[in-house]
Structure 1
Amino acid sequence: SQPSLIISYKLNNTLEFYSYTVSADFTFAPYGPYWKFMKKLCMTQLLGGQTLNKLLPIRSEEIKRFTKLMSKRAESEEPIEIGKELTKLTNNIIT
């Protein structure tokens, strides 16, 4: 049927885009020496203890911002898109 073709087409294009332009180097790389090297690099340089400690103030600030926002919205009984806010929190911590 048509809808499944459209979904399949979009999925294939998305995967192709990511595999060739965004993260061809690592995310979709076949498991092997290059993949192992990149994983080790990510674990030591990006997720190592020293880096995580340096970024602790940023994570703390973002968590404070998030909890303040949640409290403010709860007090005013304002609706909130929790998924959207969690995505924003995650992106602010990562970038």
Structure 2
Amino acid sequence: MTSPSFAELDALPTEELRERAFALARHHRDIGFFWSVFKHLPDSDEAAELDGAPNSIGPTIEEAVALYRELEGHGYGDQEPLLRAAFIDYLQKHQ
């Protein structure tokens, strides 16, 4: 089975690309990929702010998952081209 070409992947809707890339990343347990995507979602800056606790270094995985669930199905805003590229790149490199 061959991997889809760039043109085939680029023809897909962003949401389908996200679903495929997320399924593959879950299979590989690739937290780094998820984190890179979360950093580029609209409104992710609010979730990444420090909460003021002395030992706080930013959001927890649970907060990131909550952010994703809140944004799932919504527009990606100005970040859509960047996210599409990340999804396509991940699918081409890891299939």
TM-score with structure 2 setting the length: 0.28
Larger Rg: 1
TM-score with structure 1 setting the length: 0.28
Q: Which has the higher contact order (CA 8 A, sep 6+)?
A: 2
Q: Which has the higher helix share?
A: 1
